Amino acid sequence: MEIRTIGVVGAGQMGNGIAHVMALAGYDVKLTDISADALTSAMDIMRKNMERQVSREKISGDEMETALARIRTTTTLTDLGPSNLIIEAATERETVKQAIFEDLLPHLATDTILTSNTSSISITRLASRTDRPEKFMGFHFMNPVPVMQLVELIRGIATDEPTFNACKAVVDRLGKTSSSAEDFPGFIVNRILMPMINEAVYTLYEGVGNVQSIDGAMRLGANHPMGPLELADFIGLDTCLAIMNVLHDGLADTKYRPCPLLTKYVEAGWLGRKTGRGFYDYRGESPVPTR
């Protein structure tokens, strides 16, 4: 099927990024969130991010205005029902995602494809709670969406080939690269990335190095653009912990046990950049290590 209209559930960092790239690629986008303020903020963020692209001559001013005009916002989830493709980008909690799909089901068009931007939750399990497991798959964008080139496409056990091909065609139209992943905990990127971050937290927890030395070592010694603890703060420590728990529960291997220090930071509400404190304190002019 040809995808022309796209619904995006969740106006947070991932949701507004997805809406941004879809609109620039020529899709009509409907963005929903339970918070009207979040939707207003998302539109402001998208405009600022597109203005940055204009200043770098990635897009023209006319392209920006046309793309923004393609995006409609609503606080009513069911308004997304007639969309050809729906991408759920809500918080990384399975119960929340299941509730969203259950609310959407009675309002969907017959051929609507359902997808989730989940970074680790079972696609097969999410799909089994819908009336169209064959038209359900994982559509995992990397953060920040307008910049990162990879999209993981994850088939559930029931996902059919036309659904996969339709989603791959969307990725191609975005000018991004798709990577096909099997439906196992963490898929590809987070199966590799999150244990590295978790091991960096263990290295801090055990006193092998402090925040600055660990991040500096990986930037200069492994040529990573961002140290693992800085990256964890950027992703959100709550998200990192949730993914580690999915890996630990789903694969039943002690090597995926979340570091107690990561759990402690999340318990403190120090979730990284979004809360002003994580492995770094962001409340001053420049980030300061917290350990």
DSSP for 62-108? HHHHHHHHTEEEES-GGGGTT-SEEEE---S-HHHHHHHHHHHGGG-
pLDDT digit string, tens, across residues 216-258: 999 999 999 999 999 999 999 999 999 999 999 999 999 999 9
At residue 1, does pLDDT exceed 80?
Answer: no
Q: Which of 122, 140, 198, 230 is catalytic?
A: 140
Residue 120: band (very low, low, confident or very high) from pLDDT cuts 50, 70, 90: confident
Helix (H) or strand (E) holding 161: helix 161-174
Task: State how far the alpha carbon of 65 is from the alpha carbons of 73, 110, 186, in Å.
Answer: 16, 32, 37
Strand partners, 113: 85
Residue 91 has a pLDDT of 87
For residue 190, indicate whether it is catalytic: yes
CA-to-CA distance for 98 and 123, rounded, in angstroms? 11
Residue 275 has a pLDDT of 96
For residue 248, indicate whether it is catalytic: no
pTM of the model: 0.90
Which class for 230: exposed (0-12), middle (13-18), buried (19 or more C-beta within 10 A)? buried
**Average of pLDDT values for 27-49?**
97
Q: Which of 16, 116, 122, 190 is catalytic?
A: 190
Residue 75: band (very low, low, confident or very high) from pLDDT cuts 50, 70, 90: very high
**Average of pLDDT values for 207-214?**
98
Report the candidate in 156, 154, 119 with the shortest Cα–Cα distance to residue 134.
156
Q: Which of 83, 117, 119, 178 is catalytic?
A: 119
pLDDT digit string, tens, across residues 126-164: 999 999 999 999 999 999 999 999 999 999 999 999 999
Q: What integer best gives the mean pLDDT of the chain?
A: 96
Q: What percent of the chain has pLDDT over 90?
A: 97
Tokens 């009336």 locate to: 131
Residue 264 has a pLDDT of 98
Q: What percent of the chain has pLDDT over 70?
A: 100
Helix (H) or strand (E) holding 213: helix 211-221
Q: Which two tokens stand for residue 98?
A: 């299941």
Residue 2: band (very low, low, confident or very high) from pLDDT cuts 50, 70, 90: confident
At residue 173, does pLDDT exceed 90?
Answer: yes
Task: State how far the alpha carbon of 114 is from the alpha carbons of 15, 16, 82, 92, in Å.
Answer: 15, 18, 12, 16
Preceding amide of 144 cis, omega within 30? yes
At residue 199, does pLDDT exceed 90?
Answer: yes
Residue 145: CB partners within 8 Å, gap ≥ 6? 14, 17, 18, 20, 21
Give the E-state strand segments of the chain in sequence order. Answer: 5-9, 28-32, 71-74, 85-88, 113-116, 136-141, 150-155, 177-181, 280-281, 288-289
For residue 117, indicate whether it is catalytic: no
For residue 152, indicate whether it is catalytic: yes
Task: State how far the alpha carbon of 138 is from the alpha carbons of 124, 157, 192, 207, 273, in Å.
Answer: 9, 11, 18, 38, 26
CB neighbours of residue 61 within 10 Å: 10
Residue 282 has a pLDDT of 98
Residue 78 has a pLDDT of 96
**Average of pLDDT values for 250-278?**
97
The two beta strands, 113-116 and 28-32, are unpaired
Q: Which of 152, 178, 198, 230 is catalytic?
A: 152
Q: Decide: 192 and 126 in contact? Cβ < 8 Å.
A: no
CA-to-CA distance for 111 and 189, rounded, in angstroms? 30
At residue 92, does pLDDT exceed 90?
Answer: no
